[in-house]
Amino acid sequence: MATDISKKLEDMRVFYASGQTRTYAFRKAQLGKLKKAVLDYEEELYSALEADLKKNAEESWITELGFVTSEISHTLSHLSKWMKKQRVSTNLLNFPSSSFVLHEPKGVVLIIGPWNYPLQLLFTPLIGAIAAGNCVVLKPSEFSVNTTRVMEKIIAESFPPEYIMLVTGDGATVVPSMMKAFRFDHVFYTGSTNVGRKVYELAANQLVPVTLELGGKSPCVVESDANLKVAARRIAVTKFSNAGQMCVAPDYLLVQESVKSDFIETLKQTILQFYSADASLNYNFGKIINERQFDRLISYLTGATIIHGGKHDRSKLFIEPTLIDINIKNGIEENPLLKEEIFGPVLPIISFETFEEAKSLIDRNAHPLAFYVFTSNKKKEERWLASVSFGGGCVNNASWHLTNPNLPFGGIGNSGVGYYHGKHSFEVFSHHKAIMKTPTWFDPAVKYPPFKGKLGLFKKIVR
């Protein structure tokens, strides 16, 4: 098996060296093939996503298929412009030279996807890699098995294996094996911080550049002047989408003490409106990916102050939308709900009285992937955005920033390295080659030895 993959990887290197992936016509055609294949397999993908995560067709379109096809359309609309050399200004020292940047593909790249959005989080970086002219190895999660089978058919039927290859199997075995046997030109990983560190270490051994899209405890602040009804709707639809298995879902709420009771009641009513009294039967509510994740999430409920929800069924991998009240005055040092990324339909709610109090709680888990603040006060908004270091976020919304291809999506610190989406995806898989072109008709002697006596002139030119 290892020998077979090594041979295929070398075949990809040969194919890339042939130069076939570099033309605009080739890249455009491959993006078109990918879009057509996703649409051709639309119904199979719906069925697979329902089997893996109990996603309904509407949610699957918005967060998976439609997300991918929209990203392809955006890329096709701008690709010719992105590929053109980028002219930049030239300083006085190099007059009369001209300067520009060429974007060239990096080579053979590896993209490792997670299970929670198995299509979107594997194919969205793939779009950028194709657009930039690379050959690509795809490694989907072994946990979203049904969606992986459909993606495997899409890739095999659309592209030759020496150009794009999808590799299955246990990631803990397959990925290290490939990365030790073959030097990729870029590795793009989406998943947990712990696994991200291991991927980073493997890449560092061969000085391979990486993009890491990780997670973290993303806070959501609800100020006293927020529109509570709108905040409840926008928080609930994000937090409980995909049964909370979303890297940019609000991980915990910080609610101003004066509106906490009103907000909790509004949020409870919103959850019932969205998911009914029995969310296990509700069309709009998903399931946990597997028993391991289910057991981890249920452990958070032990000893917790549950103020809504809490029902669960291991046989159905079901945990209903659950709200937990946390009183920080009772101590928070050992509370796992405030230390670990929850990644499920469990939402802790903490009240705060002052900005400083809320900020100190956020600082316990620095550099979240996302940050959300609900307020109608411009000064509060600006203070929060300036005070918290995070990957990306929203004011009076949650998670929807990642649907805008013009915004970079990525983390900072423990929540990730690098960013992508839209043009940023093209750039992350491109080498930015800096070029300066100098004419020969102007060649002043001052640039050459002897230099004695020219210090004053040099100080005027270089300063």
In this prediction, residues 329-358 reach a mean pLDDT of 89
Catalytic residue of the set 64, 213, 341, 427: 213
| Amino acid, single-letter form, for residue 330 | N
- 273: its two tokens: 């409106």
* Residue 461: predicted pLDDT: 86
Question: Within the chain, how many helices (H) and strands (E) appear?
Answer: 16, 20
300-311 pLDDT tens trace:
999 899 999 999
With 60 as the cut, is the pLDDT of residue 1 above it?
no
What is the distance between the alpha carbons of residues 51 and 53, in angstroms, rounded to a whole number?
6
In this prediction, residues 117-138 reach a mean pLDDT of 98
Catalytic residue of the set 135, 220, 247, 394: 247
- 406: its two tokens: 């013009």
Q: How far, in Å, are 153, 174, 251 from residue 11 at the CA level? A: 20, 18, 44
330 pLDDT band (50/70/90 cuts)?
Answer: low
**Contact predicate 74/400, CB 8 Å:** no
204-263 pLDDT tens trace:
999 999 999 998 899 999 999 999 999 999 999 999 999 999 999 999 999 999 999 999
What is the distance between the alpha carbons of residues 167 and 169, in angstroms, rounded to a whole number?
7
Which domains can be identified in the chain, with CATH numbers?
2-214+413-435 (3.40.605.10), 219-407 (3.40.309.10)
Strands 108-112, 186-190: pairing kind:
parallel
349-372 pLDDT tens trace:
999 999 999 999 999 998 999 999
* Residue 310: predicted pLDDT: 96
* Residue 333: predicted pLDDT: 64
Percent residues over pLDDT 70 in the chain: 98
- 211: its two tokens: 């993009």
**Contact predicate 138/111, CB 8 Å:** yes
343 pLDDT band (50/70/90 cuts)?
Answer: very high
User: Apex CA 110: angle with CA 104 and CA 112, to 5°?
Assistant: 135
| Of 65, 19, 59, 24, residue with least CA distance to 42 | 65
- Rg, C-alpha atoms of the chain: 25
* Residue 2: predicted pLDDT: 59
* Residue 318: predicted pLDDT: 98
Which residue would you say has higher pLDDT here, 380 or 338? 380
| Of 130, 222, 34, 227, residue with least CA distance to 425 | 130
Which neighbouring-strand residues pair with 435?
Answer: 100
334 pLDDT band (50/70/90 cuts)?
Answer: confident
Which neighbouring-strand residues pair with 100?
Answer: 87, 435
What is the distance between the alpha carbons of residues 275 and 287, in angstroms, rounded to a whole number?
13
Beta strands in 232-278 (DSSP E): 252-256
92-115 pLDDT tens trace:
899 999 999 999 999 999 999 999
* Residue 463: predicted pLDDT: 84
270-293 pLDDT tens trace:
999 999 999 999 999 999 999 999
* Residue 411: predicted pLDDT: 96
Known catalytic residue: 213? yes
What is the distance between the alpha carbons of residues 455 and 463, in angstroms, rounded to a whole number?
12
Q: How far, in Å, are 19, 134, 174, 189, 202 from residue 6 at the CA level? A: 21, 18, 11, 20, 17
| Amino acid, single-letter form, for residue 346 | V
**Contact predicate 127/205, CB 8 Å:** no
Known catalytic residue: 333? no
CB proximity list for 132: less than 8 A, separation 6 or greater:
103, 105, 106, 426, 427, 429, 430
Strands 210-213, 416-417: pairing kind:
antiparallel
| Of 283, 353, 345, 273, residue with least CA distance to 309 | 345
